[in-house]
Amino acid sequence: MTFRFFSILLLLLSLVACKNNAHITSSPSRITGKRISIDKTIPANSEIEAFIKPYAIHLNNTLDSTLAFNPSNLSKSDGKLNTALGNMMADLVMEQANPIFSSRTGNKIDMVLLNKGGIRSGIGKGAVTSRTGFQLMPFENEIVVVQISGEKMLEMISYLEEAKTAHPISGLELKVDKDFKTISANIQGESIKPEKTYFVATSDYLQQGGDNMVFLKNPINLYKIDYKLRNAIIDHFKKVDTLKASIDNRYIQIP
């Protein structure tokens, strides 16, 4: 079968070759181009495979060793204005970043704001590993802290009124009415004062205007704490035995 195919191919080749010869005399050159699929019909080069193997083993051992246990499936879509997964993410940023920020500046982070779209996967019930951290946050984004005015904070509240979605927050408590208009917005239990300034932890992506969060751009001060969001997640997993994540009253709608 294979051989027959090859013979037919050769026959075809000789025919085409004759035709092309005539063509070539008038045109001195030719270019051909195509793409070749790298799929399972191409056998793997065993030397290359052997070279990769120790790297893969180390990587997989590290990625798949259990760091914590997750008692229930977590998804960023379970909940309307706050979700168990989003709350855990925002809270862990507060918990992991605040000590670093405080030791460097003497100030305290007032609140954390992330974006719902930045949570790139859910967490299944069962073992939680470093790989879980990579799945939640595959990008290299870092935690940054901005110092912004109370007025900018009110812009943030307007932004959230418009977004009508569960952007993860920590340190901020929001109550909105049936039309998503704000009833109360409290930072650490106190209402936002336009004349005050606030320290907001977020990702460098959002700080630079990602997801249209323009109120984070051009802050009074920008503090880089050299801490990747993913590393904060993984450090949190290492710290706890069991993930504690639940929907609460931090951001709710009162009908």
CA-CA distance, 67 to 241, in Å (whole number)? 7
Q: Is 22 in the site for other proteins (CB under 8 A)?
A: no
Binders of other proteins among 71-130, rule CB under 8 A? none
Tell me how crowded residue 225 is: count the other CB atoms within 10 A of its CB. 19
The burial of 83, by beta-carbon neighbours within 10 Å (0-12 exposed, 13-18 middle, 19 or more buried), is given as: buried
Q: Answer yes or no whether residue 58 interacts with other proteins by CB under 8 A.
A: yes
Q: Report the nearest approach of other proteins to the CB of residue 229 (Å).
A: 13
How far is the CA of 37 from the CAs of 41, 45, 171, in angstroms?
9, 16, 51
Among the listed residues 36, 189, 195, 241, the single contact to other proteins using CB under 8 A: 36
- Which helix (H) or strand (E) is 92 found in, with range? helix 84-105
Of 134-173, binders to other proteins (CB under 8 A) are 134, 140
Instruction: Compute the least distance from the CB of residue 4 to other proteins, in Å.
Output: 12
**227, 99 in Cβ contact below 8 A?**
no
Segment 197-236, which members bind other proteins (CB under 8 A)? 204, 224, 230
Piece of the chain touching other proteins by CB under 8 A; list 54-62, 71-79, 106-114, 161-169? 54-62
Helix, strand or coil, per DSSP, at residue 197: strand
If phi over 0 gives left and psi between -120 and 50 gives alpha, with beta otherwise, what is residue 209? left
What is the DSSP secondary-structure string of 146-194?
EEEEHHHHHHHHHHHHHH-S---EESEEEEE-TTS-EEEEEETTEE--T
- Contact region for other proteins (CB under 8 A) — 15-23, 72-80, 151-159, 215-223? 15-23
CB of 207 to other proteins, least distance (A): 10
Per CB under 8 A, the segment of 51-59, 94-102, 168-176, 185-193 that binds other proteins is 51-59
Q: Does 61 bind other proteins (CB under 8 A)?
A: no
Residues that bind other proteins (CB under 8 A): 2, 5-6, 9, 12-14, 16-17, 20-21, 23-24, 26-49, 51-52, 55-56, 58-59, 62-63, 131, 134, 140, 204, 224, 230
